[in-house]
Structure 1
Amino acid sequence: MRDEASAPEETTRSEGKSRRSLLKLSAAGLGGLSLGALAMRPVEEQVDYLSQNVSRASKPSQLKITDLRVAVLDGVPFTSPIVRISTNQGISGYGEVRDDADKRYALELKSRLLGENPCNVEMLFKRIKQFGNHGRRGGGVSGVEMALWDLAGKAYGVPVFALLGGAYRKKIRLYTDTTESENPKEYAARMKDRVDKGFTFLKMDLGLELVAKKPGTVVGRSYWDDNLEQYNGDPGSYGQTQHNFTMVQLTDKGLEMMAEYVEAVRDAIGYDIPMGMDHTGHFDVNTAIRLANRFERYNLAWLEDLVPWFHTEDWKEITKAVNVPTMTGEDIYGLEAFRKLCDEDAVDLIQPDPATAGGILETKRIGDYAAEKGKAMPLHYAGSPVGAMASAHIAAATETFVALEYHATDVPFWNDLVKQEEPLMNKGWYQLTDKPGLGIEMDEKEMAKHLLKGEKLFAPTPEWSKKVAWDRTWS
């Protein structure tokens, strides 16, 4: 797209005169120039004539970044800062900062990018990599990296997966979940509805909060004043305390009550559908092992984030003790930490979130490295169509990809954010095309309807244009 921050380069007068004279001559020749007549013309006119039907919207070698702005969407299903990088040739690239992350994680990178050629993706990624970190802090670097790939694809006229080495698949399998319910049968009905909609892979979010109010189910509830909310952001709360330090355990009764939910879902959907599980709660390694052993009979695809990802020894203990596949990774930034998990055989699968892991190429590298260690790669993702398509291109280009999270089943306007005749998601799948870049065109008028309160649509950011720091990390 073209925007107010992008101005196409001017063609020189001599080039314009030469091209106009040639096209005028070809038009006068009725049937066009003969090969003989063409051969007699100056070489620059020959090139102009032969390439007259080629798009000149982009000259990749002369592409320069002129601006970076952010628009923060709300309810997609969480907050999603969308990055737009503009260029001197009128094309823009889009990326997405991790859900519920700070837009400033991306804006601080602007001064490091202005004037650079966005097609030098790897070089620019290495320049800005130091400004990312685990969790949401990786979102800025990741979102910018996505936008650079979108620009590179558009500049060269090819889809991003082609720039990554080509596609193993263009039809991308999705997995989805549903909202929890205190009634196991109601929960199961919601999951069955996902299958009826065409999904061939599911995930349950089964927090111990569902059973904690029942007497005799959870040890340590009073320790937290009966507040076992996993997503409590208050410092020192249960939600902000690492699993091993909560003093929370599930009793046999608690385990059985949680198992009732899994059994109800399996009764509803059968065993043809793979199903993973996440968000079980913050409890110690021993409880994690007991929970996994109780769920073994339900043949889960994985148990996710039973302990924080960086407790490698705990993960090794759990993985060796249970017969349910273990998995972590959505909060890990960069290949280095994934390499340790894989090298030490700490988990059975790895699951990066491209909006934290470092973007498109870094996530593919993570998947390729994990494959060498015999570990497949589902992808975590919960945001807008921008990050969804970035993730889909990774999925297309990574041989051992399993399934990509789709977290927008209950977001009615999700697909309206892009200008596309057919929905991006169809019966549990994305279908990639050969359209350049990420393959989507954002509908900025629709985006404007869903901005976070107080935010503007891609407001100017001149305050982030001047570089004021010395960035080198070595002496």
Structure 2
Amino acid sequence: MPPSTADAIPAAFQAGEATLDRISWIRLSSVTLPLATPISDAKVLTGRQRPMTEVAFLFAEIGTEDGHEGIGFGYSKRAGGPGQFAHAKEIAPVLIGEDPSDIGKIWTKLVWAGASVGRSGLSTQAIAAIDVALWDLKAKRANLPLAKLLGAHRDSVRCYNTSGGFLHTPIEQVLENADASLARGIGGIKIKVGQPDSSLDLKRLEAVREHVGDEVPLMVDANQQWDRPTAQRIGRALERFGLVWIEEPLDAYDAEGHAALARSLDTPIATGEMLTSVAEHWELIRLDAADVIQPDAPRIGGITQFLKLAALADHRHLQLAPHFAMEIHLHLAAAYPHEPWVEHFEWLEPLFNERLEIRDGRMHLSGRPGLGFTLSDQARAWTVDQAEFGDRP
């Protein structure tokens, strides 16, 4: 007699008495969020990318036999959204019947379901939405905000605004945006640099620093547009502005170049947002290539992978400033041992019914369980594709 399917599964992977609930339903949604104004940073001005007009989101909603539900999301800018949705559709069926609390096991199972396309990039970004939903579900089951489930070190996190300082924005409007951010209670201001004519960057930065004063935390972001000599030269010129950091001065994968720059400049170097795995970030950490590490949970595979990376960063006493997706990263930053930063973008607000509280330069955790967000009717209206698996309780 041939062995049964259950007999063929190693005992270590078979469910036991500790499995109290199972995943019974998954819904994946591809949502396209239009931006009110085309967005340009240095990558556009150097001809490497076109202006950004929309952001594609992959939402995962997961339900269990006992009626618990969680929601998570990932995203892609300019390209990749349909690909993330397509890959998630292929691998999502393996979730049915799994214990939703076994998040690490599920992450590995999803990776193996799509092993031929690797363990970074689009494939694990598709997994990220599912992973985030499982963590949201787990925290909701415990009736805790996600940060409290993870073990928060603080109930609020320093925050800075990025959306008001893009290069398509005239400097007069940048200054007005800075005033509005500070009036709203946001603590710091970041502006984009990296133009082909660096003297224009310096003029914009001089105007912002003079306008907001020396006490306001100020950052700049070159979006990978300098080569090593240019980054060294401009980095020295930027020292006088007392910046919190210089972000992505070099190509995201030039870890050795970032390390040399970090050694030679007084201003801290920040990078990491474009990397798509823990392994890629480890190269930065190993080479002391960043004073401030900027992982993006949706880009590296979700919260499960982010926690691994955070442990490595903590071991080296690095500063942490997660990229974008403040709705997720507020919780993860609150659980980091060293005082972090969170990036403020208001772009995602139409997708959710709830809002984050910002005051006194900090973003505050709410008492809502999980991530603390529910999808808005507008998010449903912007849905361009959807797939469901299993049966909703």
Shorter-chain TM range is 0.7 to 0.9
Task: Find 2:208's aligned residue among 255, 258, 265.
Answer: 265
Structure 2 counterpart of 1:83? 60
Higher-Rg member (1/2): 1
Structure 2 counterpart of 1:375? 318
1:442 corresponds to 2:385: no
Please give the alpha-carbon distance, in whole angstroms, between the structure 1 residues aligned to 2:243 and 2:34: 30
Q: Deviation at 1:135?
A: 4.7
Q: Does the C-alpha gap of structure 1 residues 173 and 99 become closer, same or farther in structure 2, counting only changes over 3 Å?
A: farther
Task: Find 2:86's aligned residue among 96, 104, 113.
Answer: 104
Calculate the aligned-residue CA RMSD, in Å.
2.6
Please give the alpha-carbon distance, in whole angstroms, between the structure 2 residues aligned to 1:334 and 1:188: 36
Task: Find 1:407's aligned residue among 342, 345, 353.
Answer: 345
Structure 1 counterpart of 2:159? 174
Q: Does the C-alpha gap of structure 1 residues 258 and 358 become closer, same or farther in structure 2, counting only changes over 3 Å?
A: same
Task: Could you tell me which runs of 5 or more consecutive residues in structure 1 were left unpaired when the two chains were aligned.
Answer: 1-58, 213-253, 383-387, 463-475
Whether contact under 8 Å (1:330, 1:353) holds in the other structure is yes
Length-normalised TM-score, structure 1:
0.66
| Secondary structure of the structure 1 residue equivalent to 2:58 | strand
Please give the alpha-carbon distance, in whole angstroms, between the structure 1 residues aligned to 2:122 and 2:240: 35
Q: Does the C-alpha gap of structure 1 residues 201 and 72 become closer, same or farther in structure 2, counting only changes over 3 Å?
A: same
Please give the alpha-carbon distance, in whole angstroms, between the structure 1 residues aligned to 2:238 and 2:122: 31
Structure 2 counterpart of 1:473? none
Structure 1 counterpart of 2:180? 193
Q: Does the C-alpha gap of structure 1 residues 435 and 188 become closer, same or farther in structure 2, counting only changes over 3 Å?
A: closer
Q: Does the C-alpha gap of structure 1 residues 447 and 158 become closer, same or farther in structure 2, counting only changes over 3 Å?
A: same
Q: Percent identity among equivalent residues?
A: 23
Whether contact under 8 Å (1:326, 1:347) holds in the other structure is yes
Residues 24-39 of structure 1 aligned to structure 2 (within 5 Å): none
Task: Find 1:363's aligned residue among 297, 301, 306.
Answer: 306
Residue deviations 1:390-418, cap 9 Å, x none?
Answer: 2221112111242111221xx4xx54543
With 109-118 and 131-140 compared, the bigger mean Cα shift is at: 131-140
Q: Does the C-alpha gap of structure 1 residues 276 and 373 become closer, same or farther in structure 2, counting only changes over 3 Å?
A: same
1:119 corresponds to 2:101: yes
Structure 1 counterpart of 2:141? 155
Q: Does the C-alpha gap of structure 1 residues 104 and 279 become closer, same or farther in structure 2, counting only changes over 3 Å?
A: farther
Please give the alpha-carbon distance, in whole angstroms, between the structure 2 residues aligned to 1:173 and 1:85: 31
Q: Deviation at 1:273?
A: 1.7
Whether contact under 8 Å (2:60, 2:72) holds in the other structure is yes
Please give the alpha-carbon distance, in whole angstroms, between the structure 1 residues aligned to 2:211 and 2:21: 57
Q: Does the C-alpha gap of structure 1 residues 95 and 267 become closer, same or farther in structure 2, counting only changes over 3 Å?
A: same
Task: Find 2:246's aligned residue among 279, 284, 303.
Answer: 303
Q: Deviation at 1:94?
A: 0.9
Please give the alpha-carbon distance, in whole angstroms, between the structure 2 residues aligned to 1:441 and 1:206: 35
Which 4+ residue blocks in structure 1 deviate beyond 4 angstroms? Answer: 130-137
Length-normalised TM-score, structure 2:
0.79
